[in-house]
Structure 1
Amino acid sequence: MADFRPRRSVLYMPSSNERALEKAKSIPCDGLILDLEDAVAPDAKAAAREAACAAAASGEYGRREVTIRVNGADTEWHDADLAAACAAGPDGIVVPKVSSASEVQTLADAMERHGAPDHTALWAMVETPRAILHAEEIALASDRLTVFVMGTNDLAKELYPSSSPGHVPGRGPLLTGLSLALLAARATGTAILDGVYNDVRDTDGFLEECRQGREMGFDGKTLVHPSQVDGANAAFAPSDEAVEDARGILRAWEEGQQVDGGSGVVTYQGRMVEALHVDTARRTLAVYEAIRAL
């Protein structure tokens, strides 16, 4: 867990908006996605590309993980976006609608060809039924791919629900897809970010979806507005109670190992503690320390 990187809050920012790019330098999010896709009009794509790449290369965003979302491979802007992003060397390049292992391999080859530095990772957006069904293969297709980003709006569109899943409490229509993507991420050691919550006025709904995503196992949430950052940061960080519980488990375990040559099971506050609980406690503390280090 020494190399754990917090991604509690990853905020989309339109790269065509100079004020937004400047404001992003002071927003307390863990990561930024400088967007060239949905948030940018066709006639502004070229200027947005230049602005995003300049921002990513500037070094002015402090500890924040800075990524660039390029336009999809089926668009006229994709090749130029990818080449420019590779040259800028952000922390990651986010690609929409990645649906197969072969697409990942093509993207990784192109990043190598365009001279992307080793630290520039590939983030794949999982937002189609095909991607969900092949998520494990996608994750294993290249070492460049380190993060899944759930594209819940596009996934919802392709499911043909009777009403918008974004307004269904509990996100019932999406749960199968979210769970399958999570299983693939955990099976392959890939980080995974939950999708966006569209209604920025609905704070209670947003916080409830953060809680659900955290309980499911997501590493963090993608956001559409700076007002959502604090809520995501709190939701995806270990609580004070969880940190104290983890410390207590580790103390009990260490004490148990010093008695009669050690034991595979100890008790803590009346609960049985095994090695798997110790691993969870260590991860909780690693996440806590990584957040404190920010």
Structure 2
Amino acid sequence: MTTTLFNSDLTAKINHLGAELFSLESNNKEYIWEGNPEFWGKHSPILFPIVGTLKNNTYSFKGKPYKLSRHGFARDNEFVLIEKQDHRAVFSLKSNTDTLKVYPFDFELQIIYTLAGNDLTIAYQVINSSTTPMPFSIGAHPAIALTGDFEKYSIQFEKNEPLQYHLLEDDLISNKTETLSTTDNKVALNYKIFENDALIFKTLESDYLTILENKKPLIRVHYKDFPHLGIWTKTNAPFLCIEPWFGYSDSTETTGNIMQKEGIQILQPKSTFNAEFSIQIL
């Protein structure tokens, strides 16, 4: 099933499987990657209850091991549409017998999509329904469609800052870092930047970045609520993922104890976590 939202400026389409945004149109132009599996068969998956990869795809809680695949299970589960207006929709995923086998916590995850002018806001609400503190990570993975020559695009960060990112080793965060070179806060895009996979920024001062096409602003992603950011594409793929995160892959030195995992969030019993980001068409 799918749900369509619209206002005078935008049309957004969401698949109930994973509550995944798969289309965002303005003036008959599509801004979300089509999901061609030749490159990557997703559009904008929701990452929960982990972001990235666990060492050996395993974590431990209270001494018991659990298996979780990359980016968790939310993207592979059917969400329930619990509220719908022309410009707004709320999707819900609750813990069930299958999730409890791999993630022993009672929770509700709500995803709220709201259109306002040229902005699509995507809000995350995580509710800990259990009686124990709940560790989790959550993140976005929207793939922005970039047609034509990839090198005609650039990204510009809000602030002039050192853009130091961590390298991945076998999908895990290493201690090795590199720094993107910039001119006027801009990074000229080319596929070589991503030859070692995603760029993982543990800290950034900027609250948003802008994708430019031939130096003209095209789209802006605001991520003020989020402490971490991933940027990713694949060689020759016509998209760029801008990924606001709470958390990231295990480090190469991880103990496996999820309560001690670097970047993990701990939500107290009967408490609610809220965060949001937005995609703005320029």
Which interval holds the TM-score relative to the shorter structure? under 0.3
Q: Which structure has the greater CA radius of gyration?
A: 1
* TM-score, length basis structure 1: 0.26
Q: Looking at secondary structure, tell me which structure has more helix per residue.
A: 1
